[in-house]
Amino acid sequence: MDWMSSNRGFTSYLRLERSLSEHSIAAYGRDVSKLADYCQQLEEPVGPLKVTLQEMRDFIARLHAVGIDARSQARIISGIRAFYKYLMIEELMEDDPTELLESPKLGSYLPDVLTIEEIECVLDKIDLSTDRGHRDKAILETLYSSGLRVSELVELRLNSLIEEHHFLRVVGKGRKERIVPIGEMAFAQVYHYVHHYRVRLPRQKGHEDYLFLNRFGKKLSRISVFNLVKEYAAKAGIHKSISPHTFRHSFATHLVEGGASLRMVQEMLGHESITTTEIYTHLDLQYIRESLNRYHPLSRKPVH
């Protein structure tokens, strides 16, 4: 089996068996292609079924040598492990060459988080005298109120909004569905947008059911949501690295700071493993440490 045919089979497996998004499938495909390019350039080229652990290690060393950082290396390794898991499931291999492959050590990464005051400042910069302003406020309120991924937000349909109970039906990674509450202010803004502004947009075939639309009546793209977040953050004078995911991080952090259990936050975010959610414990501890340094009298006194 060559690299091209095995990658095609892997793509079908990701789409049909794991129900991943096209964005994720493309990312996995690029990871495998990087390994394939390396293996085909060896003095004695090897196919996917003949790659050894040492060749894997040499491949990772090559990634490091060309300046690919540890976090990107870890992501590429994750994609390649998924590829070899597929080959094992298909019984095309007896031994997995990635089994003993070590991922690079990653430093603790704490994403940028907005304070409640910064969230309010961003929302205050939205011009509600325009139809677009009402849509944008509904989007940002939803991101912060329910902690959605941007991919989940743009896929929301009209029937995703469970109006009588103020919940959203969200389809997350792996096409897994979860029900999350939407805050009162966010619900009111979305309801107002749907019933007073969205109804005036042109109807585009195939886009009629999506909740958030552009001015042409078409489903929003992820990049358009990214751009509007950047736009309002700039208007609010916020210089942190801001993206739609920042609202998700802020949502989770504020919940943990307020005393919510990690298990509840895990369910809300749609994390498969609670270890993913545990980053917000570190964020909370960081907040406690900063508060101690700021307000405790002994923390501000110099040591002689």
Q: How confident is the model at residue 102 (pLDDT cuts 50, 70, 90)?
A: confident
Instruction: Give the C-alpha separation, 303 to 241, whole Å.
Output: 34
The residue annotated as part of the active site, out of 149, 219, 249, 254, is 149
Furthest-apart CA pair in the chain: how many Å? 73
Q: Residue 245 catalytic?
A: yes
- CA-based Rg of the chain, rounded to a whole angstrom? 23
Q: 161: closest CA among 119, 136, 137, 189?
A: 189
Which pair of structure tokens corresponds to residue 32? Answer: 């495998």
Q: Residue 280 catalytic?
A: yes
Bridge partner list, 168: 161, 180
Determine the CATH number of domain 116-293: 1.10.443.10
Q: Answer whether 236's CB lies under 8 Å from 122's CB.
A: yes
Q: Which residues contact 212 (CB under 8 A, 6 or more apart)?
A: 135, 138, 139, 153, 154, 156, 219, 220
The residue annotated as part of the active site, out of 134, 248, 249, 254, is 248
SS3 147: coil
Q: pLDDT tens-digit profile of 31-89?
A: 999 999 999 999 899 999 999 999 999 999 888 888 888 888 888 999 999 999 999 99
Q: pLDDT tens-digit profile of 236-267?
A: 999 888 889 899 888 888 888 777 777 887 88
Helix, strand, coil percentages in the chain from 3-state DSSP, rounded to 5? 60, 5, 35
Ranges of each domain in the chain: 3-89, 116-293
The residue annotated as part of the active site, out of 28, 38, 144, 280, is 280
Q: pLDDT tens-digit profile of 121-168?
A: 999 999 999 999 999 999 999 999 998 989 999 999 999 999 888 999
Q: Residue 173 catalytic?
A: yes
Q: How confident is the model at residue 303 (pLDDT cuts 50, 70, 90)?
A: very low
State which CATH number among 1.10.150, 1.10.287, 3.30.70, 1.10.260 fits the domain covering 3-89: 1.10.150
The residue annotated as part of the active site, out of 135, 137, 249, 271, is 271
Which pair of structure tokens corresponds to residue 292? Answer: 């101690």
Instruction: Give the C-alpha separation, 279 to 275, whole Å.
Output: 8
Q: Length of the chain in residues, anyone? A: 304
Segment holding 168, helix H or strand E: strand 167-171
Query: CB 181: neighbour CB atoms within 10 A?
Result: 15
The residue annotated as part of the active site, out of 173, 192, 230, 235, is 173
Q: pLDDT tens-digit profile of 3-30?
A: 988 989 999 999 988 888 888 899 999 9
Q: pLDDT tens-digit profile of 197-210?
A: 999 999 899 999 99
Q: Residue 248 catalytic?
A: yes
